[in-house]
Structure 1
Amino acid sequence: MTLDTIDIQTESYGDEAVRFDAARIADPRFVQENRLPAHSDHRWFRTAAEAADGDSGYEQSLSGRWKIHYAKNPAAAPAGFFHPDYDCESWDDIPVPAHIQLHGYDRPQYVNVQYPWDGVEQIDPGEVPERYNPVASYVKSFRLDRPVEAGETVSISFLGAESAIAVWLNGRYLGYATDSFTPSEFDVTDALVEGENKLAAQVFKFSSGSWLEDQDFFRFSGLFRDVVLYRRPRAHVEDLRVDVVLAHDAASADIALRIDLRGEGSAAARLAGVGPLEPRGDGGFSIRLDNPRLWSPEDPWLYEIEIEVRDVSGEVAEVIVQRVGVRRFAIEDGLLKLNGRRVVFFGVNRHEFGLAGRVQTAAEIEADLLALKAVGVNAVRTSHYPNSTVFYELADRHGLMVIDEMNLESHGVWDRIRKLGAPIEDAVPGDRPEWLPTLLDRAASMYERDKNHPSIVMWSCGNESFGGTNLRDVAAWFREVDSRPVHYEGVHWDPRHEETTDVVSQMYTPAAEVEEFLRDRRDKPFILCEYAHAMGNSFGAVDEYIELAYREPLFQGGFIWDFADQAIALTDRYGKEYFGYGGDFGDAPNDGEFCGNGIFFTDHSPTPKLQEVAYLYQGLRIRIDDAGFTVHNRLLSTSSAAYRCVVTLSREGRMLRREEAETDIAAGDTGRIALPIAVPTAPGEYAIDVSFRLRAATAWAAEGHEVAYEQRVVQVGPPPARVAAPAPELIRGAHNIGVRGPGFSALFSTLYGGLTSYRFGMTSDGGRELLTGMPRPHFWHAPTSNERGWEAPFEDGQWLLASRYGRVREPLTRTRVEQDDTAVTVTYEYELPTRPATTCDVSYRVDGAGRVEVTQTLHLVDGLPSLPEFGMLLTTLPEFRRLRWYGDGPEECYVDRRGGARLGVYDRDVTTELTPYLRPQEAGSRTGVRWAEVTDGRGAGLRVESADAMEFSALPWTPDEVENALHHTELPPIHRTVLRPALMRRGVGGDDSWGARTLAQYRLPNSGDLVFDFAFRGV
């Protein structure tokens, strides 16, 4: 299938006809036409003062308002629109940069593995859809900010155009380019005119290159990065390269500068604060630097090379300031090392994505990187395309190691081979020669632009595109031009050319399997380029990976998937704002909320998962015992003395004492420090916290910011004995059992089977009713994204039935009522609709003070599925919205994600307790809860207690209501506060979101009797 040729023919300029053949966008070999060669991303200035200000007189922004015409396909695009006489004034306006899909044209579409045209049009690899291939025709009129000087040349660079672009200036065809994520730059010198210039561009959503752009992201198109006009003076550095060779002992470094000087002139260079670089015979420059300050994530020191270019008359033509990081990253002794020290990647994958899609300002990108630095992240993988240049500049400045990944993913084709049994020959790019030119072009465009950034420690050939000779050749090309290691994960699936990658890279391999792999395979360092799939309420048991990284030298960490949820702000029919995901835009095919994998939300605010990230990624590992604490310094170059060490002692959330300890544990070492605080002998539960904090503010955090912490809980003596209250009054009715005491009453139904009333308080009507429904044993929660991924609802669905439809067996005759000197106990036996059938006993022991002790006993039998949770569901008044608890916090936590939580007393508003994951799901629970209260504005309400510490949740909705909502705006109005004390909830898991179950140690037992004790009372 081919596109019809669109014949765009107007008058000629000189000997050159103005013609662009749109049919060629379906040719994989048609990579570019007349595009300028890729070059380093350095900037050049007219004067040193300009360089200091960062505002170059050689740059003119062409971003801003453009005219746009939208067509559904190339055949409907306007012919000749680029001609100077073609009137475009009636066209709409659109900002540049922007995605057209976020400005009223086409539609956003989220797909992961599927190609966006799959099942819509029958096309083969390399071909493009005919009926649906949106085309945006852009027009911008501009005037030069000053006349072109003699000897100057002028270019226009489109820094990001998705997925292919054709360009004209004043009716003259300039050229064509593919590769959405690197610059497409064209010489416009001869096409410029005095006065108004008409710049025209046609951007195709799908081209042959789109087969290589099947990343897990929203499918957009248009001019989504800036458009810049550049002037090149008569003597100009077109390209520069900085090479740094650090001596093995780091006592010196040789810095070499190579420049491509165009025009007649000369250049000189100096290292700021050090001295001039010496000219070399090959036209380059070099300098030896003694005792250099090394670049690292902890100390991202940058030197500056100042380059001055003079023209043939001796006048300064341009000034360049090139930042240089002195560091060595290489595989040494079989390990990935930075400056001779073994590296563990505390990494994150990051899409370029924010509230405007892949359009981000420098300030937004910087905020992202600072937020990552603040939680201990030291590395970023640019999944799965080159980012905008400012990202690398900021990574250099703030200290993040980067795996720079070229724009390649053909997952949809790879799936045909891996899952549908297609032959290897079908792979794209595979071994097909027609795909090699575009791969090498994309590799070169990324490398040439980014090569001088010290933050980049590895080049990546792309993502999830199987294997083959083409990728092998791309990797070989990287090694020809650079010394940095080459990464590619697809060799794991197609091992025919293992030389493609310098590291063993896998995705989502469980920690135990990584360890097993490394027992036999020890020829390369091992990383997980993606792990801990943080979809929805996830990120469980990630500590297994971190512990392995410090137990097994060859395992050198990984990169969380991923940084932030990808979603788009929408407003529903009732005016409520929410974030939309796949399927919310009329897009088909789509992959639903699979775009919600972030440790940050769509607006880049932190999710509760970040509490665990910060704990696991901390550079100081602390262990506290009775006499002191041990610190393992996992940092690369920083002593623990760089931080204040604060030790506190608390009892039930109240600080008793605070001291500081002096430490000086070198990077890589382990040291022990005596506790400056003694635990009292008075009975009680005490918490010792050791916290390392910044001594001074940094770019990424304020003074006092916590960089590492640990807590130890100590129980001294037995808990205080409870004072027995006088026995309550027992009232036996025909259908109800009443229990009454001073200030309370409880009513148990023998007709319906359960506690139907609990009133508390000294009022004339017998107290305030605190229950809005009958408490019932509960075994279910709204499935998390991970649980849906391994089809837990299908397996566990009978526990939903048991929670909803369990019944009390013959309540009128089999309700047991017992009375002793201090309490009345009422017991029910629930029959549960499970296969095989089972029962759950619930007893309520009510004392004379109104305290209700609940004991649930679930009798598990062989053959029952795994329990999502085991506890009780109670509903109370909606005005009880102030939640206060003594337990783990402050953020939600689960049995496999509680390392970052600390025991304390915390306050929250119940109405905000359902974490706003893209799709509503189980959220907001806490582990280790000793007591929790929900109260109104006057402090009246309900208190739940557990001597053994429970899991506890207080939400405005039932699990059923949460599960039924596809977005948070679909949750019903609040009518109650829902309390769910539990013995345990199943851990959230986190190896992946499409089949990986919660690890066995974080699941409830599936045999024997489960017993859960807790109590509640009015307050």
Structure 2
Amino acid sequence: MTATKPRLAWLSDPTVFEINRVPAHSDHQFFASKDQTKKLTQSLNGTWRVHLEPDLALQDLAFTKPDFDHQHFKYIQVPGHLQTQGFDGHKYVNTQYPWDGHEELRPPKVPAKNKVASYIKTFTVADELLDKPLFISFQGVATAFYVWLNGHFVGYSEDSFTPSDFELTPYLTEGENYLAVEVFKYSSASWIEDQDFWRLNGIFRDVFLYATPTTHLFDLNVSATLDDDYQTGLLTVTPTLTGELSERTLKVSLLAPDKKLVFEKIVPLSSDLKVATTITDVCAWSAERPDLYELELTLVDQNDEVVEFSTVKVGFRRFELKDGLMHLNGKRIVFKGVNRHEFDPIRGRAVTKEDMLWDIKFMKRHNINAVRTSHYPNQSLWYHLCDEYGIYLIDEANLESHGSWQKLGACEPSWNVPGNLPEWQATCLDRANSMYARDKNHPSVLIWSLGNESYAGKDIELMGDYLREKDPSRLVHYEGVTWNREFDQITDIESRMYAKPAEIEEYLQNDPQKPYISCEYMHAMGNSLGGFKLYTDLEKYPHYQGGFIWDYIDQALYQEVDGHKRLAYGGDFYDRPSDYEFCGNGLVFADRTVSPKAKEVKELYANVKLLPDQTGVTLKNDNLFIDTSDYFFTAKVLQDGHVVWQKDYRLNVLPQETKHFELDYPEVTEGEVIHEVTQRLAHDTTYAQAGFEVAFGQAVYPKLPKFVPTKAPKVVLGDVNIGLSGENFEVLLSKDKGGIVSLKYFGQEFITRTPQLTFWRPMTDNDRGAGHGFDRAMWLAAGKFAKVVDLKVETLENAVQVTYTYELPLPEKVLVTVTYTVDGAGKVNLKATYPGHANLPSLPTFGLEFKLPKRLENLSYYGRGPAENYLDRKEGSRLGLFETTAKKEVAPYLLPQETGLHSDVRTLSVTDQTGLGLKVSADQQAFSASLLPYSTMMLEEALHQDELPQVPFTYLRLLAAEMGVGGDDSWGAPVHERYWLKANEPLTLAVTFEPYQK
């Protein structure tokens, strides 16, 4: 592209998005020798000089000259963002543009306060790159940048997330070369890069030099598909060559996954060269078996000397619409996906290979088979890793203009871009082409996405047309047509965001014309992912082909506060406008520790479903291509949570088949019995070692304990207190405090204050977004300000029973009873009953909160675990015996909220470091419980984890039940009604306390 306008005018002109940029091309590797020792690349990563000016009016182009004195410039690491290295302030916004409220702008104008960073790097060209055409590649620069070498202008580029290459040859000097790069924070491109993320800029991906030999494989298009039998590979190699072609040949070699040569051909070079062949009995590529062939291309001169050697991994696979459904290699596919931002809490989007390996191994371990590269092409290495490990990709173009057409949630496209505007057409097509050209050879890429949340229009339609013409082997995806059905033809797939299960089911049941995916669903903000099973249950409909959870990782950055480091969110850096904690939606926390939500994903995304019963187990193998021979299955029998029998089996089920296996379970007649079967890796893999658990299943045959008093206690009916005692224990029940005020075993006190009725759980992000506080605010104070209106003391056989009746401070008269039944053996049976009442909102929870001495910080329990679990999120939690501590039970959500709950609890014990403590047992019905170092109200009030106080207590919540946490979205979707605690239905907590010594 050429431009006649003044240089700075390019920034606000959408028709100018590159000057002198090399055409986009494939990311294949090339060398000067076949042994790959003679590299033709030279990294410029590392320490650069930089200076940041607050706006373009203060820029000084003197820095582009080699004689410029840059000693006052500071140092910066490349790749890296300016903001993460202290050169600019952090800013997080979602839909709104970052200048909203500060400057009144409409596209394509740019803010006057447009910070400009002047970068300097000096380098000497490596010997192996000398005397050849030399190029520089910027793999990612945000948002617009100009390049000079030795004082000469080289070029200009936009599109933050695809490579920009320029030729340097005419401007090189012997010895040291002086590279100057000017990076602007905003350009017209900022209007179409309005993604939901931290607005970070700078040179944040790799920068390197590369030289090209006299004959160079500039671009490579590899088509590796399957014939109609899905067993014969069809390979077509189309190279684009530059330089000398006469008297030169190309040797094309294909090596199988076992490195055996399966094809080789030598052809003379020409401008329209194409090599095609068939491969019989091909090893097809899929996420289940990511078999890769290696394609080698050797350019040889007339003296049989290697001019250039190139290599690319090839995966044979066929992705197609067949009978209205998406098929991979002839089988209907289901995407078990997640959206992934590139993110690190220190480096921002400048992620490393180590980060990517951690991410991809996490995904494989959690049965995630697909990623949408939200919302831009990722680093090139990510695609190579997805090819190697087996991850399906929706590759998304760098296009989002959310704030131009949606304001405060309402669709208002009066000035949206790009729309049908001709001046935005070329840059949109360029972004589609840049993505396609680089990523076209990756088997992991199944679908091209035309960007995210940019409404619809002719410009986006043309992007889709272009990609279909260039690449008919893939489908085109675009969700934005749901806002403008006039352009429904843009997308090959019915794709929606945050559609509720019932809405999706309605589509699936009414003659669907396209396959369905949720490109975003299950908004995993804070304590979320409740009701996930309602979505995976839709897999029974053929047109439902999965979805992509929003999202993979919390976008939180480290911040120093009063001498300590914390993970901070939007607004914490006094960035305004901001969308605050809305950046925390991950299955993993920003520091790459795993959140409790991931357990649910792992189980519901598992390809093999295990259904134990009294005689054996049924295995349902949902894999498309692999049987279960690479796994072993461990069967266990548990009695009251203890493993009493265990045996390993090799059970083979073919893909897409279901089979029942008889297992030789021993008969267990006492206690509660569980039959459990787990699926485990039989061999080491690239992502986990042999023995790693892939999935589990349980069958539970319940038998819960019952309180039976054994002997009568000693009774003292005082004026204020009722005293009950026996050997090594004493209980005081207060008449004026409304409950138990003392519980002593072996002379140690276990009660610090009368336990408080609780109807409130600390609000989750989903609660806040759905208006839970407004709808259910009356329950917040219902327990705290309940008053005793009646006290009843009864003498039973072998026990004394004291019943308190509380009236709740509600607009309707509601009476709750709490009964303590104490026997002479030191057992205290507690029964709290909410009778149910119409005309009230549903309850967040019901039970009691105990303020225990801090020493009681160790928790052992027989219930669902090990991760926290809830009424609508417990498929990934098993019934068993677990040990933890109060501190470990706090999931570090960006905004403190409900955490640490365990459902279906049979027994628990809280103990000190000596093992002395309390045991709490269910009385004929399971309960829910949590042990935390913070009270409900402490979690409710804090805005960050480091704001939670250090207190000398531990808080035990014993609950009849708690409502679900929800997860359809975090800005209005309530918890599904089936997971409510309806106010008109009674609730009872029944447990028994006794002393415990570990």
Alignment partners' CA distance in 1, 2:887 and 2:695: 31
Alignment of 1:533-552 (within 5 A): 533-549=523-539, 551-552=540-541
Aligned to 2:367: 376
Q: Is the 8 A contact 1:576 1:969 kept in 2?
A: no
Q: Does structure 2 conserve the Cα–Cα contact (< 8 Å) formed by 1:181 and 1:407?
A: yes
2:8 to 7, 22, 35: 22
1:478 to 444, 467, 471: 467
Q: CA deviation at 1:353?
A: 0.6
Aligned-residue offset at 1:371: 1.0
Q: State which of 691, 698, 704 in structure 1 corresponds to 2:685.
A: 698
After TM superposition, the structure 1 = structure 2 runs for residues 882-901 of structure 1, keeping only pairs within 5 Å, are 882-901=858-877
Q: 1:421 and 1:228, CA in 2 relative to 1: closer, same or farther beyond 3 A?
A: closer
Give the Cα–Cα distance (whole angstroms) in 2 for the partners of residues 719 and 902 of structure 1. 17
* Mapped contact 1:688–1:712 kept (Cα < 8 A): yes
Matched residue, 1:495: 485
Out of 351, 356, 360, the residue aligned to residue 351 of structure 2 is 360
| Structure 1 residue aligned with 2:771 | 791
| Aligned residue in 1 for 2:969 | 992
Partner of 1:116: 98
Distance 1:396 1:703 in 2: 22
Per-residue CA deviation, residues 132-185 of structure 1 (Å, 9 max, x unaligned), is: x221110001111127554x2111111100011111001101111000000111
Whether contact under 8 Å (1:264, 1:311) holds in the other structure is no
Residue 437 of structure 2: which of 435, 438, 448 is its match? 448
**Quick one: which of 286, 293, 312 aligns to 1:303?**
293
Task: Please list the CA deviations of residues 933-961 of structure 1 after superposition, one character each: whole Å capped at 9, or x if unmatched.
Answer: 11011111122221311111000110111
Distance across 1 between alignment mates of 2:384 and 2:129: 30
> Paired residue for 1:562?
551
Secondary structure in 1 matching 2:499 = coil
SS of alignment partner, residue 271 of structure 1: strand
Is the Cα–Cα contact under 8 Å of residues 375 and 617 in structure 1 kept in the other structure?
yes
Structure 2 match to 1:771: 751
2:937 maps to which of 960, 966, 973: 960
Instruction: Find the aligned partners of 2:908 and 2:706 in 1 and give their Cα distance.
Output: 19
Question: Does structure 2 retain, via aligned residues, the 8 Å contact 1:18–1:172?
Answer: no
Listed as ranges, the matches of 1:337-486 within 5 Å are 337-355=327-345, 356-416=347-407, 419-420=409-410, 422=412, 424-483=413-472, 484-486=474-476
AA partner of residue 404 (structure 1): D
Aligned twin of 2:258: none
AA aligned opposite 1:446: M
Change in Cα spacing, 1:56 to 1:832, as seen in structure 2 (3 Å) is farther
TM-score w.r.t. the length of structure 1 is: 0.94
The one-letter code of the counterpart of 1:377 is I
Q: Could you tell me which residue of structure 2 aligns to residue 951 of structure 1? A: 928
**The one of 831, 840, 845 aligned to 1:855:** 831
- Out of 307-316 and 296-305, give the one that drifted further: 307-316
How far is the alpha carbon of 1:279 from its aligned partner? 4.3
Note the 1:308-319 alignment, pairs <5 A. Answer: 308-311=298-301, 314-319=304-309
Alignment of structure 1 residues 506-525 onto 2, 5 Å: 506-525=496-515
Q: Secondary structure at the match of 1:802?
A: coil
For 1:157-176, what aligned pairs fall within 5 Å after superposition? 157-176=137-156
Secondary structure of 2:677's aligned partner: strand
Q: Which residue of 2 aligns with 1:90?
A: 72
Bigger drift between 141-150 and 285-294 goes to 141-150
Deviation at residue 1008 of structure 1 after TM alignment = 4.0
1:268 lines up with 2:251 in the alignment: yes
TM-score by length of 2: 0.96
Partner in structure 1 of residue 125 of structure 2: 144
CA distance, structure 2, for counterparts of residue 420 and residue 540 of structure 1:
26
* Partner amino acid, structure 2, of 1:144: V
Matched residue SS, 2:599: helix
Shift of 1:804: 1.9
Shift of the 429–237 alpha-carbon distance from structure 1 to 2, 3 Å rule, reads: same
2: distance between equivalents of 1:310 and 1:478?
Answer: 33
Residues 926 and 953 in structure 1, CA contact (< 8 A), matched pair in contact too: yes
Cα distance in 1 for partners of 2:704, 2:71 equals 80
The CA deviation at 1:278 is 6.2
2:744 partner letter: R
Letter in 2 for 1:244: A
Q: Which residue of 2 aligns with 1:324?
A: 314
**2:494 matched residue in structure 1:** 504
1:609 aligns with 2:597: yes
- Does the Cα contact within 8 Å between 2:34 and 2:306 map onto a contact in 1? no
SS at match of 1:397: helix
Q: Within the alignment, does 1:156 sit opposite 2:157 as a pair?
A: no
> 1:647·1:676 contact (CA, 8 Å) conserved in 2?
no
Kindly provide the amino acid, as one letter, of the partner of residue 60 in structure 1: Q
- 1:249 aligns with 229
| Equivalent of 1:596 in 565, 571, 584 | 584
Question: How far apart are residue 852 of structure 1 and its match?
Answer: 1.4
Supply the AA of the counterpart residue of 2:16.
Answer: F
Q: How far has the Cα of 1:754 moved from its partner?
A: 2.1
Correspondence 1:748-759 to 2 at 5 A: 748-759=733-744
Q: Which residue of 2 aligns with 1:201?
A: 181
Secondary structure of 1:368's counterpart equals helix
Given that 1:66 and 1:96 are in contact with CA atoms closer than 8 Å, whether structure 2 keeps it comes out as yes
The alignment's C-alpha RMSD in Å is 1.7
Find the aligned partners of 1:942 and 1:190 in 2 and give their Cα distance: 80
Distance of 1:722 and 1:790 partners within structure 2: 40
Mapped to 1, the partners of 2:658 and 2:944 lie a distance apart of 48
1:290-326 per-position Cα deviation (integer Å, ceiling 9, x unaligned): 1100001011111111111124654311100111100
- Please list every run of 5 or more consecutive structure 2 residues that lacks an aligned counterpart in the other structure: 256-260
2:161–2:377 CA contact under 8 A, matched in 1: yes
Query: In 2, Cα distance between the equivalents of 1:656 and 1:327?
Result: 47
Match of 1:821 among 797, 821, 824: 797
CA–CA distance in structure 2, aligned partners of residues 71 and 335 of structure 1: 53
Kindly state the Cα deviation for residue 802 of structure 1 after the two structures are TM-superposed. 0.9
Matched, 1:48 2:34: yes
Decide whether the 8 Å contact of 2:148 with 2:179 is kept in 1.
Answer: yes
8 Å contact kept, 1:660–1:676: no
1:491 and 1:500 in contact (8 A); partners too: yes
Mapped to 1, the partners of 2:69 and 2:613 lie a distance apart of: 79
Q: Which residues of 2 match residues 889-968 of structure 1 at below 5 A?
A: 889-947=865-923, 948-968=925-945
The residue that corresponds to 1:743 in the other structure is 728
User: For structure 1, which segment, 555-564 or 648-657, has the greater mean C-alpha deviation from structure 2 after superposition?
Assistant: 648-657
In structure 2, what residue type is equivalent to 1:297? Answer: A
Partner secondary structure for residue 10 of structure 2? helix
Equivalent residues, number: 982
1:681-720 matches, within 5 Å, as 682-715=669-702
Question: Cα deviation per residue 1:840-874 (whole Å; 9 max; x = unaligned)?
Answer: 11111111122211111223332212211011111
Alpha-carbon contact 2:615-2:665 (below 8 Å) kept: no
In 2, Cα distance between equivalents of 1:552 and 1:432? 39
Relative to 1, partners in 2 of residues 1:608 and 1:720: Cα closer, same or farther, differing over 3 Å?
closer
Provide the C-alpha distance between the structure 2 equivalents of 1:972 and 1:628, rounded to a whole number of angstroms.
Answer: 50
Give the drift of 1:755.
1.6
1:310-348 deviation per Cα after TM superposition (whole angstroms, max 9, x unaligned)? 246543111001111000011111111110011000101
Instruction: Give the % identical residues.
Output: 42
Which runs of 5 or more structure 1 residues have no equivalent in the other structure?
1-15, 762-766
- Residues in 2 aligned to 1:269 and 1:322: alpha-carbon distance in whole angstroms: 11
User: 1:951-986, CA deviations, whole angstroms, 9 ceiling, x for partnerless residues?
Assistant: 110001101111111111111113111010111111
What is the letter of the counterpart of residue 395 of structure 2?
D
Indicate the residue corresponding to 1:57 in structure 2.
Answer: 39
User: Quick one: which amino acid aligns to residue 388 of structure 1?
Assistant: Q
Secondary structure class of the residue paired with 2:405: helix
- Decide which of 964, 980, 992 is 1:1003's aligned counterpart: 980
Q: What's the offset of the Cα at 1:660?
A: 2.7
1:886–1:932 Cα contact (<8 Å) kept = yes
Cα displacement (A) at 1:78: 2.2
Q: Which moved more, 1:856-865 or 1:64-73?
A: 856-865
